[in-house]
Amino acid sequence: MEHNETTICVWKNIAKAIVQGVAIGAFAGIAFAAGFLYRDRTLTTPTAQTSFALIQEADELLANHFLYDLPEDSVRVHGAAQGLAASLNDPYTFFIEPRAAEIDSTNLAGKFGGIGAEIAQDEQGQLVITRVYRDSPAEQAGVQANDIIMAVDDMAVDEAAPNMDETLAAIRGEIGTPVVLTLRRRDTTIDIKIIRAEILIPSTFWQLTETAPQIGYIQIVRFTERSPEEVSQAIKELRAQGAKSYILDLRNNGGGLVDSAVEVAGVFLEGGVILYERNRLAEEKVFNASRGGVAIEEPLVILVNANTASASEILAGAFQDRERATLVGQQTFGKGSVQLILALSDGSSLHVTTAEWYTPDHHRIEEEGLTPDIMIQPVEGSDAELTAAVELLSANHPAVSDNP
């Protein structure tokens, strides 16, 4: 099993690099572990009737008495919005400025216009190209790993910025449009023009386990609009390669779109309840899986850990309650509240907690999480959970361990 553990660890590292880096670097500092479960595309926000005269009064006093230059109006307004959301004392209700909101939206969509390079911020605040993807616009234009981004379309990179949102948003753009990166390569500064292309962000990675080649391994790193299609494709390819049972890895999956998680459930379940949503009026909405799943019979094991949260807990909880799969790993995060993502007039957005999720047996996820059927503590240097899953499938279904 040692060889297999090494292979899967390498695969997972590659997956992590791709997910963090496809197109233009890490996912913008917006943590999916915070639980962005639900995207609403139709709701509009009514005009508030509350008087904010006190805020205006405070702003005028600051303008009249503050010693130094005031930030721009938009900066002060965004600061007030952040404070308003923070006053609710809910970690999952918060305000996001326009640039970060744009990145958040495209990440959840699973595709966007970009250049196909991974970037990271070093200790000095420099933005470094850490990987250039094969056949990407960046590779075709001559971008190289270890290039340092000095400017984007003549806009200098602010190395003192707390995150990469501004630079990421500037690099992304409409497919077919150009972007010019000013790069420092060793002792030389060069300008490279790149034509943006559609960059697809994979959410799912799969392969056969090497020591048990009739067990398919599927890892979902987050739930995006593309996840259901990717999982169905994974089943199709793995089955063609001889897979007769599956391991679904939801470890370190912090959530994403709940509708996508429900669709993924439909791949493995023949309809039925996946979760209940309960709002502040105690009204319940039922989410059911679709019928016609392509893998409703094969044995299934789910891997979870303390970073399995939100939509991934919903999926794992449904499989556990419905006795469709065995959960292996550690107690999950316990993030079962629902957030609406509401667009504001200037491109910023509000993430607002509006309800809680419950499993098919009405188990509360928020602050409680899920208890695995088989508890496995992590072992440094090996993948103990994966080893246990392979052994479980092989023991319960001996034919699985035989080579075809």
Q: Which residues are catalytic?
A: 310, 321, 335
DSSP 190-227: EEEEEE-EEEE---EEEEE-SSSTTEEEEEE-SB-TTH
Q: What is the dihedral of CA 5, 34, 226, 201, to 10 degrees?
A: -70
Closest listed residue to residue 305, CA positions, set 209, 378, 219:
378
Q: Which residues contact 120 (CB under 8 A, 6 or more apart)?
A: 21, 25, 26, 127, 128, 130
Measured between alpha carbons, how far is 166 from 168 in angstroms, rounded to an integer?
6
At residue 129, the 3 state secondary structure works out as strand
Measured between alpha carbons, how far is 366 from 337 in angstroms, rounded to an integer?
6
What's phi and psi for 172, nearest 5 deg?
-70, 155
Spatial strand order in the sheet of 374-375: 204-208, 215-220, 245-249, 300-304, 326-329, 374-375
Q: In whole angstroms, what separates CA 70 from the centre of its chain? A: 36
Token output for 179: 């972007």
DSSP 248-282: EE-TT---B-HHHHHHHHHHHSSS-EEEEEEETT-
Neighbours of 209 (CB within 10 A): 23
At residue 292, the 3 state secondary structure works out as coil
Q: Mind spelling out the 3-state secondary structure of 19-50?
A: HHHCCECCCCCCCHHHCCCCCCCCCCCCCCCC
What does the buried/exposed string (b/e) look like for 265-290 if buried means 16 or more CB atoms within 10 Å of the residue's CB?
bbbbbeeebbbbbbeeeeeeeebebe
What's phi and psi for 60, nearest 5 deg?
-65, -40
Q: Which residues contact 107 (CB under 8 A, 6 or more apart)?
A: 27, 28, 30, 201, 224
